[in-house]
Amino acid sequence: MANKPHVTMEIGNDGVAVISMSNPPVNALAIPIISGLREKFDEATRREDVQAIVLTGKHGRFCGGFDISVMQKVHQTGDASILPDVSVDLVVNLIEDCKKPIVAAVEGLALGGGLELAMGCHARVVAQKTQLGLPELSLGIIPGFGGTQRLPRLIGLPKAIEMMLSSKPITAEEGKKLGLVDVIVPSQELLKVARQWALEIKERRKPWMRSLHRTDKLGSLSEAREILKVARQQAKKTAPNLPQHQACLDVIEEGVVHGGYNGVLKEAKVFKELVVSDTAKGLIHVFFAQRATSKVPNVTDVGLKPRQIKKVAVIGGGLMGSGIATALLVSNIYVVLKEINPDYLQKGIKIIEGNLRGLVTRRKLTQDKADKALSMLKGVLDYSDFKDVDMVIEAVIESVPLKQKIFSEIEEVCSSHCILATNTSTIDLNLVGEKTSAQDRIIGAHFFSPAHVMPLLEIVRTQKTSAQAILDLMTVGKSIKKVPVVVGNCTGFAVNRTFFPYAQGAHLLANLGVDVFRIDRVVCNFGLPLGPLQLQDLAGYGVAVAVGKEFATAFGDRTFQSPLVDLLIKSGRNGKNNGKGYYIYEKGSKPKPDHSVLPIIEASQRLTNIMPNGKPISVTDQEILEMIFFPIVNEACRVLEEQVVVRASDLDIASVLGMSFPSYRGGIVFWADTVGPKHIYTSLKKWSRLYGNFYKPSRFLEERALKGIPLSAPVSSSPGSRSRM
């Protein structure tokens, strides 16, 4: 019973029944909790020895919201009838319309359905430092237990809309100012004050507040409609592909115009419709995909304990090295930053100082914490401080001889348990560690730029990397607030390997005569923050050339080699670095298409000479999208077949966090399954006949398309499968 979700009720001598939810760690509203609440409220209402009721949660938390795995089950089974009707029968009828006063005693967090339960009560007594919020829209749904109706009535329309549309929680202190919280108390006094409050409502010494009946904070109908109109326009701009934002505003308006009870009925209906939408399926898949990355067979399931990493050496103070150092410092890990001369070292330290200043400016860090972080940094020019470090992360340029030299040197000076990591983005780890004997400690820590901001950490293992080294790096990754994804060792690893056709597909289309600015526009409309050509501008053309060579060597049978980047460099362009690329970059204004780039593109088209009959091809926006993304899916299929990732959902979360693939589309493999492997296969086959091997379908895609098997279905580890793990 102790670990199973359950609800208890204790009746004190004062006649107050304390109903407690228990479903660690956050008391999520699983089906047994919801039915337990119905049962206990029903009993407390009927019993004559109960004068008033307090609702609370065990384990220092009130309630983290509805159990998301129920919605995942709906997606897997297609059966929406398993969703409980909570808003009307439990929150309205049993709680809000109860003839006995009910007070919520809230501690730790009240999120989603948890806050909605609390708002259905007649008062809210809240412990200090509690978080209150309705984050449902971040999962593609809307609040479904009355939140769209009660929050505006308790705190006013503008703030309620902002809280729901942003999914961001507020503190108890802010809740008190807004009128969501009746009183804030120290957590040790929470139950005592809540019981007292409930009895005082009973004795009419405190107001008996049914929030659904309130209208005093809604303003006039015309004011409310104007606020909703502005919010709709704003949401169209900021969330153009997210239907839940407009749906939420529609439901709020229903309640404002036709009363709270009608609003609750519409909310329940729209909630159920949204649960089965593609957006909710994608976002809920990503939610679980992120959690699944913590489970790595033969690493996290063999009883190993992570070792403490207190001090890390970072070699190289360029943009990547200083970004990695920043991420470690803000998480209280001592950093030794090594450079080859005083000038480079000073430069690296200056970048770290700038990163910390930026975090303070954006309110991600207090000034005190930034000062403390800087005090944990030591700059050095030799290896004498490496003796007692727990891990080294090498972040120098992509040169095999240089990396090999560094690894031979650090193996000599570091302790025998020190983890030796490289931040390479493409180079084979076996090459990096070729000249060392400590191959069980060699591991890839591939951060994405800027390293102190981007949330993904690819942990690359070779066949010799020890489980302990992997577990330790996963633990460090989590402590510096990254999502660690363990991948196998191959050129480009999981993310860069999967997405190498991204820029190449855009170049192929450009050489076929498709307008480059249209290509970027189509990709941005699909949901990526930047199109492939603007991304190339941002990264700099040197990166494009270096990475292009790596992939041409590794995957020459399917790369499209375009002369366009070389022509851009020859014409004196280097993207954002010198303000001239496909776009014009001027300080203080948004990038604008640079039409003077068109003659260079035409020169590239003459050199490649792939336009049918020398004329630009005619394509729809949908075809552009598919010609860019289907080759990426094709490469993802090879990554899955070679078992470079543990599971398909790891590639989904890596594509979302590493390449900003839209999370509401569920990640690259999930999206491909919704499009249909058969359609992807037949399209690629057609284009490969027209435009060559770049589009040739992989064996894995062909097999699954013809057999009707989803791409995300597990790969069988047959003796013939070429596992890289």
* Tokens read off for 70: 């129920």
Residue 719 CB partners (closer than 8 Å, separation 6+): none
Q: What is the dihedral of CA 409, 414, 416, 418, to 10 degrees?
A: -110
Report the DSSP pairing between strands 456-461 and 442-447.
Answer: antiparallel
Q: How far is CA 9 from the centre of its chain?
A: 38
Judge whether 148 and 164 are in contact, CB under 8 Å.
Answer: yes
- Which residue is associated with the tokens 């489980």? 467
Q: Using H for helix, E for strand and C for coil, what is the string for 418-446? A: CEEEECCCCCCHHHHCCCCCCHHHEEEEE
How far apart (Å, rounded) are the C-alpha atoms in residues 598 and 586? 19
Task: Measure the N-to-C terminal CA separation of the chain; round to a whole number of Å.
Answer: 40
Nearest partner of 224 among 247, 246, 201, 256, judged by Cα: 256
Nearest partner of 339 among 309, 364, 318, 325, judged by Cα: 318
How far apart (Å, rounded) are the C-alpha atoms in residues 406 and 392? 11
Helix/strand/coil for 509: helix
Judge whether 66 and 29 are in contact, CB under 8 Å.
Answer: yes
Sign of CA dihedral 336, 339, 342, 345: negative
90 DSSP assignment: I
Q: How many residues does the chain have?
A: 725
The Cβ of residue 495 has, within 10 Å, a number of other Cβ atoms equal to 25
How far apart (Å, rounded) are the C-alpha atoms in residues 513 and 615? 7
Q: 296: which strand partners?
A: none
- Which residue is associated with the tokens 């007692």? 388
Judge whether 171 and 127 are in contact, CB under 8 Å.
Answer: no
Report, as residue numbers or ranges, the catalytic residues: 116, 136
Nearest partner of 548 among 579, 569, 521, 522, judged by Cα: 569
Nearest partner of 594 among 625, 626, 572, judged by Cα: 572
Nearest partner of 496 among 339, 636, 623, judged by Cα: 636
How far apart (Å, rounded) are the C-alpha atoms in residues 567 and 381? 39
Q: Which helix (H) or strand (E) holds 178?
A: helix 172-178
Helix, strand, coil shares of the chain, percent, nearest 5, are 55, 10, 35
The Cβ of residue 115 has, within 10 Å, a number of other Cβ atoms equal to 32
Judge whether 154 and 217 are in contact, CB under 8 Å.
Answer: yes
How far apart (Å, rounded) are the C-alpha atoms in residues 232 and 223? 14
Could you tell me how many helices (H) and strands (E) the chain has, helices first? 29, 19
